[in-house]
């Protein structure tokens, strides 16, 4: 719908008529110039515009005035009401993309899939549901790097997660450095409440900062860390002696992940399947609920350029009228 922000300016609509009605025209200058009535008579002879031309000029002038007033009233187009959630927490996800994350020990839609493929699907859905939270993404291997800064654009964050490639940050695992990078980015972000969800399938094998030291720094900054260990408990593989059952998660350092979570006031979760991982993120939604509904707003689009443009075109037409009349008399 169309709305006028300053409708009271329409009270100025009769202003030109009032000026013309109550103000007398300025008297001709006297004394300093020679007054020759016959010259005026010769100049005006046959040059008086017809009545319809005068009415046309007056109509155009009024339309210009009306368009200028409408533009000054700040016309706006109000869109449909939109619920704007209150600003929630700063939520950073740290996802392991080391070489072991390509282990195909999980099931996805009835087929064997790598760990990172399952994480992309499940964590991607979790990201899109975090309405009201700023969400960021860190990918880490031998070193961590920021894939997406904290943002309300969750669709883009999920897109960056879907583009994650195994080994892009190295084949090893730097858990401590990943926490350190999250601390650095969260300190620079607005807001007070900060949460890190760290997912890995192994142990810390690279980086300058140990996970336990990073956890102590997180406590000082008020960062709460939830850790997730992913990987199946059993996996059948074919070897020279036939099929055998192995533990593909033998390298998972659950003790360190539990220590990180307990030190920072978070929790540790173990995900051995896609369903387990979905349950973990559902539990995280309960532990860190999204922000409730905030105020309702309507998108506003300014429309003042339209009446201004019409006023400009009418002004050009008004300025061209005298030229046409002179050409007709020539």
pLDDT tens, residue by residue, 57-97: 888 888 999 999 999 999 998 877 766 555 568 999 999 99
How many helices (H) and strands (E) would you count in the chain? 10, 15
State the pLDDT at residue 178: 97
Residue 282 neighbours by CB under 8 Å, 6+ apart: none
How many other C-beta atoms can be found within 10 angstroms of the C-beta atom of residue 115? Answer: 28
Lowest mean pLDDT among 103-107, 195-199, 256-260: 103-107
d(CA 144, CA 233): 27
Mean pLDDT, rounded, of the chain: 85
State the pLDDT at residue 187: 85
Q: Is domain 90-287 classified as CATH 3.40.50.261?
A: no
Domain segments of the chain: what residues? 2-22+41-80+298-329, 90-287
Beta bridge partners of 107: 112
Task: Please provide the DSSP assignment of 132-197 as one string.
Answer: TSEEEEEEESSSEEEEEEEES-HHHHHHHHHT--TTTT-SS--HHHHHHHHHHHHHTSSSS-EEEE
Residue 218 neighbours by CB under 8 Å, 6+ apart: 179, 183, 196, 224, 225, 260, 263, 264
Q: What is the pLDDT of residues 285-324, one digit of tens each?
A: 898 887 655 556 677 888 889 999 998 998 888 888 765 4
State the pLDDT at residue 330: 45
Residue 268 neighbours by CB under 8 Å, 6+ apart: 226, 227, 228, 229, 254, 257, 258, 260, 261, 262
- Residue 252 — pLDDT band, cuts 50, 70, 90? very high
Q: How far apart are the first and last CA of the chain?
A: 51
Lowest mean pLDDT among 12-21, 39-48, 111-120: 39-48
Q: What is the pLDDT of residues 93-128, one digit of tens each?
A: 999 999 999 999 898 888 889 999 999 999 999 998
Taking CA 88 as the corner, what is the angle to CA 87 and CA 91, rounded to the nearest 5 degrees? 130
Look at the pTM and tell me if it is higher than 0.85.
Answer: no
Share of the chain above pLDDT 70, in %: 83
């Amino acid at each position: 719908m169309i709305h006028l922000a300053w409708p009271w300016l329409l009270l100025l609509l009769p202003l030109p008529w009032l000026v013309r009605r109550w103000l007398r025209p300025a008297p001709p200058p006297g004394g300093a110039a020679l007054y020759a009535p016959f010259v005026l008579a010769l100049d005006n002879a046959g040059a008086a515009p017809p009545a319809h031309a005068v009415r046309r000029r007056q109509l155009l002038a009024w339309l210009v005035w009306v368009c200028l007033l409408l533009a000054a009233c700040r016309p706006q187009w109000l869109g449909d009401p939109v619920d704007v959630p209150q600003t929630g927490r700063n939520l950073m996800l740290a996802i392991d993309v080391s070489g072991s994350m390509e282990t195909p020990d999980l099931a996805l839609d009835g087929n064997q899939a790598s760990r990172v493929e399952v994480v992309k699907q499940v964590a991607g859905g979790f990201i899109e549901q975090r309405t009201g939270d700023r969400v960021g993404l860190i990918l880490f291997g031998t070193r961590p790097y920021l894939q997406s800064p904290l943002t309300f654009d969750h669709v883009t964050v999920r897109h960056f997660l879907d583009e994650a490639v195994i080994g892009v940050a190295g084949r090893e695992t730097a858990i401590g450095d990943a926490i350190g990078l999250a601390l650095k980015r969260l300190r620079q972000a607005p807001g007070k409440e900060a949460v890190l969800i760290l997912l890995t399938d192994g142990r810390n094998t690279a980086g300058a900062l140990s996970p336990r030291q990073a956890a102590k720094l997180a406590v000082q900054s008020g960062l709460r860390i939830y850790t997730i260990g992913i990987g199946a408990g059993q996996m059948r593989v074919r070897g020279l002696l036939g099929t055998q059952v192995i533990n593909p998660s033998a390298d998972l350092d659950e003790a360190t992940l539990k220590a990180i979570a307990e030190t920072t006031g978070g929790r540790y979760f173990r995900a051995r399947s896609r369903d387990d991982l979905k349950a973990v993120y559902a539990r995280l939604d309960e532990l860190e609920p999204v922000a409730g509904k905030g105020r309702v707003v309507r998108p506003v689009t300014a429309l003042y350029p339209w009446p201004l443009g019409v006023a400009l075109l009418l002004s050009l037409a008004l300025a061209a009228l005298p030229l046409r009349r002179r050409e007709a008399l020539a």
